[in-house]
């Protein structure tokens, strides 16, 4: 289980996952709490640009620029780095036209 810490001092916030400060990788967050359920934390990560090439074709490529601090955050959350800055994700399906 991932340990999540949120610290607010004056106007400054700090966000930590498993003791690692991920504040610079996060644009914002939402915390949902419901009685008798585990708290849910949604992180809005700083992924600044997306480049999509020929997505309508079979076997097309989608490139996402992910800053290093966001890569670290994703790894803390369980993403697996398979190659330099390339991650395993499920196949994207849908209408992109």
| pLDDT at residue 64 in the model | 67
Where are the domains positioned within the chain? 4-86
60 half-sphere exposure, CB direction, 13 A CA radius = 12
| pLDDT at residue 95 in the model | 39
- Per residue of the chain (97 residues), give pLDDT as tens: 678 899 999 988 999 988 999 999 999 999 899 889 888 888 898 887 666 655 566 666 666 667 788 888 888 888 776 655 555 444 334 333 3
| pLDDT at residue 7 in the model | 93
**Do 62 and 52 form a contact (C-beta atoms < 8 A)?**
yes
| pLDDT at residue 16 in the model | 93
Residues 6+ apart with CB under 8 A from 85: 66, 71
């Amino acid at each position: 289980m991932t340990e999540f810490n949120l610290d607010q001092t004056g106007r400054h916030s700090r966000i930590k996952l498993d003791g690692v400060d991920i504040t610079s990788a996060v644009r914002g967050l939402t915390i949902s709490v419901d009685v008798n359920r585990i708290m849910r934390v949604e992180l809005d990560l700083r992924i600044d640009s997306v480049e999509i090439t020929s997505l309508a074709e079979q076997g097309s490529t989608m490139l996402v620029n992910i800053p290093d601090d966001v890569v670290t955050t994703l790894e803390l959350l369980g993403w697996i780095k398979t190659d330099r800055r390339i991650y395993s994700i499920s196949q994207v399906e849908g209408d992109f036209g």
